[in-house]
Amino acid sequence: MFPFVQSADEARRAVAATRYPPEGIRGMAGTTRATRFGTTPNYYRTANQNIVVIVQIETPQAIEQIDSIAGVDGIDALFVGPNDLSAAIGHIGDSDAGAQIDS
């Protein structure tokens, strides 16, 4: 889950950060928990197919770009952060205020 995604470009960078080369830019440390410390066979060849990317929509600017953000290949879900969105429109503490924004 990536917080505060504002544009399709930021969404593409988020996806790239979750994928191993050549599909992305994720680092390839061989002795991590994800690889079961190097014991999972073919981990690097299959990991990209098993990643879920969720981006958080937390500002009016992100709402304006929501269709282009959702259209990025590799984005699996959008999560609207009601408290942050409400705060961004000047209604701190009123998590229902974000629901009033027209997309």
Domain ranges of the chain: 1-20+46-103
As a whole number of angstroms, the distance between CA 75 and CA 93 comes to 29
Q: What is the pLDDT of residue 54?
A: 98
The per-residue pLDDT for range 40-79, each reduced to its tens digit, is 788 888 889 999 999 999 999 999 999 999 999 999 999 9
As a whole number of angstroms, the distance between CA 51 and CA 66 comes to 21
Q: What is the pLDDT of residue 1?
A: 97
As a whole number of angstroms, the distance between CA 38 and CA 57 comes to 35
The partner residues of 78 in beta bridges, in order of sequence, read 55
Residue 24's H or E segment, with its range, is none
